[in-house]
Amino acid sequence: MVEEQLIPRGIRDPLVLEVMGEVPRHRFVPPELAGRAYGDNPLPIGLDQTISQPYMVACMTELLVPRRGMRILEIGTGSGYQAAVLSALGCEVFTMELQRAHAERARGLLVELGYGGVRVTWGNGYGGWPEEAPFEGIIVTAAPEAVPPALIEQLAEGGRMVIPVGPVHSVQHLKLLTKAGGRVTERVLFGVRFVPMAGA
């Protein structure tokens, strides 16, 4: 996966590549799909949600410029795979999931696999996690039609947010938002297709 999918497509951060090669992705997909876990494609995990393809996980992680001790908010826990990758990089991860069944399953799996430091909550990601804000990084793994204002407010000075934006049946774009001097700069990266961010 690392040698054939990530490096050829431009993932360069050696720590991200190392962690992507270590986190057991097959544990975060339904058992019947474990044999396809390392393919270059998203997979369904139930309740109309998917686990993103490995390249997208690595790309979004690299865009955050993660470092040990960095406080990161993830919106859209899903199976918990993205949270595990960030935790393996030494980040302090706060992850929020709208579907309670996914949140509880992910919490149990993360503890079982040794990522017990990840804080998992069940709630509406549009409001973020104000009690734990600000965050040096925010990563959103489902697409809202516009960037939620609460997430911008909860982004720390100097922080970075990676988020897909756009309607489910039209063009979506992956965006990188940075906050400096109290101002937010937005950069459009490339077209993507994510499940919609529910709960608006």
Task: List, by residue number, the catalytic residues.
Answer: 52
Q: In sequence order, what DSSP letters do the residues of the chain get, joined into one string?
A: -IIIIITTTT---HHHHHHHHHS-GGGGS-GGGGGGTTSSS-EEEETTEEEPPHHHHHHHHHHT---TT-EEEEE--TTSHHHHHHHHTT-EEEEEESSHHHHHHHHHHHHHTT-TT-EEEES-GGG--GGG--EEEEEE-SB-SS--HHHHHHEEEEEEEEEEES-TTS-EEEEEEEEETTEEEEEEEEEE---B----
